[in-house]
Amino acid sequence: MERIAGAPDVRRRRADRARQVADLLRRQIVHGQVTHGQLPLEAALAREFGVSRNTVREALDLLRDEGLVERCPGVGTTVAAEKYPHGLHRLLGLAETLHEHGEVTNQVRTMALMDPPAAVSHRLGLAPGEQVVYLERLRRLNGSPLSLDLTYLVRDVGEPLFDADLEHNDIFVLLERLAGQPLGMAELTLEAVSADPHTAAALDAPRGAALLMVERLTHLSDGRPVDLEFIRFRGDRLTMRGHLRRDHSEE
């Protein structure tokens, strides 16, 4: 017996198409392809994507809920906030990565010598009883909160940072000077998390807002791990980009 599609099926299909349109528009916004920050009219978008105006409205509502656009009667849809690109193809500090987009400043909220949790000691390859330097920074781009960074540093390169200008310098640049060798590689994990009350207040974000969580263990060029970070980025202000190549030699 043939099933007749009803209203729920129509709504689901429209919602599916709205997500597809939202994904394509999001990419245009993130890559700066929206002229003067003004999106085309709904009718023009409907023609461009081959969908109904209701579908376009749902797509724009999704982007509005993300905080990416604003919809104003008589004005149209405009880009509400810029998303900054963070590349994944090179090991760089935040200021090095975003230097084309403005000034990165760092507010040191906590800095202390401490006995690390066992999990931190294990990741950094420390001997039992060996202390670390713990550092918590609120990082801003052009004055707006961008990330909350929790950092554990091995003691011999971390302790000299107490006398360093941490407000205007990336840790990576300072570490290379102190260690007398360049950084080598980093192990990276990305995941989405919700903003806890403390982080939300620090980042001036709604409680429970979506954050991009980065865990990064950075090694010197000789392979020694020296820097373990847990970084919470505002998901509405940063996007990760990278290039991946398929290695056919491993097939």
CA–CA gap between residue 2 and residue 27 (Å, rounded): 39
**Nearest residue to 169 (alpha-carbon basis) of 181, 180, 159, 177:** 177
Phi, psi of 152 (to 5 degrees): -115, 125
Burial grade of 74 (CB within 10 A; 0-12, 13-18, 19 or more): exposed
Q: What is the per-residue pLDDT across 3-24, written as a single tens digit (0 to 9) for each?
A: 445 567 878 888 899 999 999 9
Contacts of 190 (CB under 8 A, 6+ apart): 212, 213, 214, 240
pLDDT at 7: 60
Determine contact, residues 106/139, Cβ cutoff 8 Å. Answer: yes
Q: What is the per-residue pLDDT across 27-66, written as a single tens digit (0 to 9) for each?
A: 888 777 887 788 999 999 999 999 999 999 999 998 888 8
Return mean pLDDT, the chain: 89
Burial grade of 213 (CB within 10 A; 0-12, 13-18, 19 or more): middle
* Per-residue model confidence as pLDDT tens for the chain (251 residues): 344 455 678 788 888 999 999 999 988 887 778 877 889 999 999 999 999 999 999 999 988 888 788 888 877 888 877 777 788 888 888 888 888 888 999 999 999 999 999 999 999 999 999 999 999 999 999 999 999 999 999 999 999 999 999 999 999 999 999 899 999 999 999 999 999 999 999 999 988 888 999 999 999 999 999 999 999 999 888 888 888 888 776 55
Contacts of 124 (CB under 8 A, 6+ apart): 116, 132, 152, 154, 217, 225, 226, 228
CA–CA gap between residue 131 and residue 116 (Å, rounded): 6
Helix (H, G, I), strand (E, B) or coil at 160: helix
Phi, psi of 52 (to 5 degrees): -80, 165
